[in-house]
């Protein structure tokens, strides 16, 4: 294709921001974002809707109408090539709309589309640019891509600790270590996951509701998972809880591409020991506890050398007097 | 006095930077910094020399020579008013040199000078401005000011931890959690303290040399303190170690205005439980250990509410892949 508009990265960035809106609500479909630009003006915006349909491109094209003709489309994932009972293939829709160019952040690993979406576009004379902001797109659609690559959801571990790494006093008191801003952010993260998991100790101690306590997001309460090898006192099933016996069981959950492990130390350690944590949300309060409950138990580390190089920080921000740091599994260079 | 030069804060900032050079080497004298400015040009710079003499003002005046006449002097502490066998009073030297103005960051709490230095300058017709960058000066001369106010040295606690707050694996392995840059910074901090302290466990396990392993700073090896209620195996005395039985004993150490508590968890917790920690250096590596040795043991915390509001972050920086955060005892507003 010809040279991209110099604003191309900005438009793709906008498409990635739209993609984030669907996170945790579109599985097993990817959460895609799409921006259509005609003569420097945005004429359509779309993102995969809850449940997976309409697709982002269909939504953006409907908004653009006739203005899609000759336009450039920025889409975070290769447009699908497979017709479905639930709707036509996005590559067909783009061809019919007469767009001139399609910029794609990442190819679709789904074997029904993989390369076929791009081939269809190019066969119709549409210029295609690939791999624009591919790394950012991997982060934005991590749940879908993890499911495609590894056959399991993306797992995020949340820890809320003191400066000395405690999640509670020795007495068990843990309300509150972090402040209101950090807790609100943690609730927003819940809305970005199809499922939330706690261990048996946390389930018994707190009978946590694990809902999303944010105005306007109340309907996003994710599925509730309980990690327990034993049958707990009182059945977890029937109260909206689904019990799994091993961290690896998350692979069997249909419609779940993002799991948030909320605690306690036992569940967190089990997922780390199984090497099933992809992302770490570390909320830290500027307090010292001393002799409290540690954030983690044994995770199977044999020597310090094994601990290094596993995590890279990808985000950090201040939340009131607390600090949030986000780490992701380090990737090979 | 008349309006200060608009660059006044910058000159006082330079004086504070010079003050930092003496940190850990001037006790029982304060580590003062001094800049003399004549017609917008720096004509003299001084800082308290190791051992406490010459004073900062004397050094700066010697450098300025005749150019001190009519100049403005920026000094971090009120110039002394008491003559000594080791040298004349700085207020006398400033009057003799014919300076026009003296800007002072903080008054001297030493009863021999307290207010008398300023009174002597003003009586000689020199304009005096007080409390310029007073908060920064409190930090720069914290050891002296803590000794004057509380009768004990300023205490800094150093912790080097994983993200989950461990200082070693359960096996005791702790080399290394942090990387070379963080360890070099920790050595630089040693040079800023008259004394370094470890607990008995660390002393026995590591027989640490606690020297300053930085090129050009080898001569700065601070005094070595061992915190131990019991007599350790093999006397610590005679190997250059001085033993104290309680954290409060640091008040009795002559010529020590800055103590760095290096570990381990027992010594750190004893100083925190005694409410004797003024400053916290937290070096954190981006690793998870899980089930390791916690940074702290019991520090006497009864409830979470007591933990909040005690610490405020005053600095943070990246050191290689590690992060240093500096916290100081929160002050009343």
**How does pLDDT run across A184-220, given as a tens digit for each residue?**
999 899 989 999 999 988 887 766 566 666 666 777 7
Quick check: B296 and A295 CB within 8 A?
Answer: no
Question: Is B1 within a domain?
Answer: no
| A166 and A95 housed in the same domain | no
| A70 and A193 housed in the same domain | no
B chain contacts of residue A177, beta-carbon cutoff 8 Å: 304
| A129 and A184 housed in the same domain | no
pLDDT band for B202, please (50, 70, 90 cuts).
Answer: confident
Please check if B55 is assigned to a binding site: yes
Contact residues, B window 132-161, toward A, CB-based 8 Å cutoff: 159, 161
Half-sphere exposure of B151 (CA within 13 A, CB side): 3
Q: What is the pLDDT of residues B230-254, one digit of tens each?
A: 765 555 555 678 999 999 999 999 9
Of B121, B145, B169, which marks where a domain is finished? B145
Question: Is A267 within a domain?
Answer: yes
User: Across residues B188-198, what is the average pLDDT?
Assistant: 93
What pLDDT is attached to residue A83? 82
Quick check: A313 and B286 CB within 8 A?
Answer: yes
Check: CB of residue B156 under 8 Å from CB of residue B278. yes
| A54 and A156 housed in the same domain | no
Is pLDDT above 50 for A121? yes
pLDDT band for B258, please (50, 70, 90 cuts).
Answer: very high
Question: Is B316 within a domain?
Answer: yes
Query: Which domain covers residue A290, as residue numbers?
Result: 152-329
Q: What is the pLDDT of residues A33-48, one digit of tens each?
A: 999 999 999 999 999 9
pLDDT band for A240, please (50, 70, 90 cuts).
Answer: confident
d(CA A53, CA A231): 38
How many structural domains compose chain B? Answer: 2
- Residues in chain B, total: 333
Half-sphere exposure of B207 (CA within 13 A, CB side): 6
Which residues make Cβ contacts (< 8 Å) with residue A123, sequence separation at least 6? none
* CATH number, domain containing residue A159: 3.40.430.10
Question: Is B126 within a domain?
Answer: yes
Q: CB of B162 within 8 Å of any CB in chain A? A: yes
Of A145, A175, A197, which marks where a domain is finished? A145
Question: Is A208 within a domain?
Answer: yes
| Nearest CB to A290 within list B170, B175, B301 | B301
Is pLDDT above 60 for B2? no
Phi, psi of B83 (to 5 degrees): -70, 150
How many CB pairs below 8 A link A and B? 140
Q: Which class for B66: exposed (0-12), middle (13-18), buried (19 or more C-beta within 10 A)? A: exposed
| A160 and A24 housed in the same domain | no
Q: What is the pLDDT of residues B19-54, one digit of tens each?
A: 999 999 999 999 999 999 999 999 999 999 998 999
Cβ atoms within 10 Å of A254's Cβ, excluding its own: 6
| B302 and B157 housed in the same domain | yes
Please check if A68 is assigned to a binding site: no
Phi, psi of B182 (to 5 degrees): -65, -40
A chain contacts of residue B166, beta-carbon cutoff 8 Å: 165, 294
Q: CB of B327 within 8 Å of any CB in chain A? A: yes
Q: Residue B237 — left, alpha, or beta (φ > 0 → left; ψ -120 to 50 → alpha)? A: beta
pLDDT band for B221, please (50, 70, 90 cuts).
Answer: confident
Q: Where are the alpha helices (DSSP H) in B65-166?
A: 90-97, 116-123, 134-140, 142-150
Secondary structure of chain A: what % helix, strand, coil (to 5)? 30, 25, 45
CA A242 to each of CA A154, A222, A228, A274: distance values in angstroms, whole numbers, following the listed order: 18, 12, 10, 20
Question: Is B322 within a domain?
Answer: yes
| Nearest CB to A164 within list B177, B286, B294 | B294
d(CA B217, CA B24): 12
| B181 and B101 housed in the same domain | no
| B229 and B253 housed in the same domain | yes
Q: CB of B165 within 8 Å of any CB in chain A? A: yes
Q: Is the peptide bond before B28 cis (omega within 30 degrees of 0)?
A: yes
The more confident residue out of A98 and A224 is A98
| B48 and B139 housed in the same domain | yes
d(CA B215, CA A61): 65
Partners of A311 in the β-ladder: A329
Q: How far is A53 from chain B (nearest CA, A)?
A: 39
| A32 and A156 housed in the same domain | no
| B22 and B76 housed in the same domain | yes
Quick check: A327 and B176 CB within 8 A?
Answer: no
| Nearest CB to B310 within list A287, A297, A303 | A287
Which residues make Cβ contacts (< 8 Å) with residue B330, sequence separation at least 6? B309, B310, B311, B312
A chain contacts of residue B170, beta-carbon cutoff 8 Å: 298
| Percent of chain B residues past pLDDT 90, beyond the cut | 80
Cβ atoms within 10 Å of B70's Cβ, excluding its own: 12
Question: Is B2 within a domain?
Answer: no
* CATH number, domain containing residue B11: 3.40.140.10
Of A145, A174, A193, which marks where a domain is finished? A145
Q: What ipTM, to 2 d.p.?
A: 0.90
| A113 and A169 housed in the same domain | no
Question: Is A1 within a domain?
Answer: no
CA B262 to each of CA B227, B268, B294: distance values in angstroms, whole numbers, following the listed order: 11, 8, 14
Please check if B189 is assigned to a binding site: no
Q: What is the pLDDT of residues A126-182, one digit of tens each?
A: 999 999 999 999 999 999 999 999 999 999 999 999 999 999 999 999 999 999 999
Is pLDDT above 50 for A16? yes
What pLDDT is attached to residue A96? 97
Q: How far is A332 from chain B (nearest CA, A)?
A: 16
Instruction: Determine whether A96 is an active site residue.
Output: no
């Amino acid at each position: 294709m010809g040279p991209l508009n110099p604003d191309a990265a900005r438009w793709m960035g906008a498409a990635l921001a739209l993609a984030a809106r669907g996170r945790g609500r579109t599985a097993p479909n990817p959460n895609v974002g799409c921006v259509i630009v005609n003569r420097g003006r945005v004429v359509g915006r779309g993102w995969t809707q809850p449940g997976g349909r309409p697709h982002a491109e269909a939504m953006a094209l409907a908004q653009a109408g006739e203005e899609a003709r000759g336009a450039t489309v920025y889409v975070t994932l290769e447009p699908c090539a497979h017709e479905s009972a639930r709707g036509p293939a996005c590559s067909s829709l783009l061809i019919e709309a007469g767009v001139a160019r399609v910029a794609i952040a990442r190819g679709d690993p789904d074997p029904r589309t993989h390369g076929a979406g791009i081939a269809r576009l190019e066969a119709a004379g549409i210029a295609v640019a690939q791999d624009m902001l591919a790394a950012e797109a991997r982060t934005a659609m991590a749940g879908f891509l993890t499911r495609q690559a590894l056959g399991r959801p993306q797992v995020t571990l949340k820890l809320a600790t003191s400066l000395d790494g405690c999640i509670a006093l020795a007495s068990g008191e843990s309300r509150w270590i972090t402040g209101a801003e950090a807790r609100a952010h943690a609730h927003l993260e819940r809305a970005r996951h199809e499922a939330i998991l706690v261990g048996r100790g946390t389930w018994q101690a707190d009978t946590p509701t694990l809902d999303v306590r944010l105005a306007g997001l109340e309907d996003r309460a994710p599925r509730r998972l309980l990690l327990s090898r034993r049958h707990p006192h009182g059945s977890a099933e029937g109260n909206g809880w689904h019990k799994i016996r091993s961290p690896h069981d998350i692979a069997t959950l249909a419609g779940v591409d993002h799991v948030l492990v909320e605690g306690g130390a036992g569940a967190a350690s089990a997922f780390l020991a199984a090497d099933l944590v992809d992302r770490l949300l570390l909320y830290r309060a500027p307090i010292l506890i001393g002799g409290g409950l540690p954030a983690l138990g044994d995770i199977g580390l044999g020597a310090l050398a094994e601990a290094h190089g596993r995590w890279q920080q990808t985000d950090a921000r201040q939340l009131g007097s607390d600090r949030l740091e986000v780490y992701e599994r380090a990737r090979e260079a």
